[in-house]
Amino acid sequence: MLKTMKLGFIASFLFLFTALAHGCFDVYTIILNRPMTYPEHEAALSLGTEYTFTQMSVPEEDEVSFPARLYYGITEYFTAYAGGEFAGTRAPENYEYNSTDVGLFYNVYSGKLFSITPAAETHFIYKGGAPAYDISLIFTKPVNNWFVVLHPKLEVTAPEEGVNSVFGYHFGVFYNFGSHSSLGWGHEYFDKALTTSLFIGSFIGDRLFFQSEFIKGLTEQAQDYGFAASLKYVF
């Protein structure tokens, strides 16, 4: 009965948000020492926010987003997650539904040296704009309490004027304090924008997981500072 209710909830959520949202790093799976996939039949609902700004003197230009995501382990090696996002500038009248994303992650190899997980994602822009299609590989390597992630990806869009492709990657190094919390550093490069981040993740009891990220832009194409946080309920 419980499993049926869980599947029904997931189906309802996927109907509302027919997309896979992707984050920079999922510290929850890192603490579990997993290759970015969830345990079989495990689901997790994540609600979060991200705040970025360039100048303290112009707060009305600060950017804010509110993502919601649902993760589900279809098998031990195959994970899907879905999400939608509201985003805008600090002015309340500028908030609107921004995008819907869909994607799949499949762990094809797990060995003593490293693991490989291909990923395929599609990002739908709510108001205009061509969908973006991501193809990527996630390489993970646990070393004692350390966990290393390298995630190169290729994003392809097909607007009316032609096909565009952009290469980017995430790289992160994390230290797990037992099986309850993790501290990590990472950076992201995408379309000439380079950012670096400090990550903190920790369980709150058995079902709740909190993750926060402090962001610093390193190039002109990136916002100077930012903060992100999410609360995840596992069931």
Whole-number Å distance between alpha carbons of 209 and 22: 17
- β-strand 132-143 against 115-125: which pairing, if any? antiparallel
What tens digit of pLDDT does each residue of 164-186 get? 999 999 999 999 999 999 999 99
Q: How far is CA 55 from CA 21, 48, 186, 226, in A?
A: 28, 23, 23, 11
Q: What is the total count of domains within the chain? A: 1
Whole-number Å distance between alpha carbons of 216 and 225: 5
Q: What CATH number does the domain containing 70 carry?
A: 2.40.160.40
Amino acid in the structure at residue 42: E
What tens digit of pLDDT does each residue of 91-116 get? 766 788 888 898 999 999 999 889 99
CA 36 to chain centre: 10
Domain that holds residue 67: 2-234
* Residue recorded with tokens 């950076």: 187
pTM recorded for the entire structure: 0.86
What tens digit of pLDDT does each residue of 11-70 get? 333 333 333 334 579 999 999 999 999 999 999 999 999 999 988 778 878 899 999 999
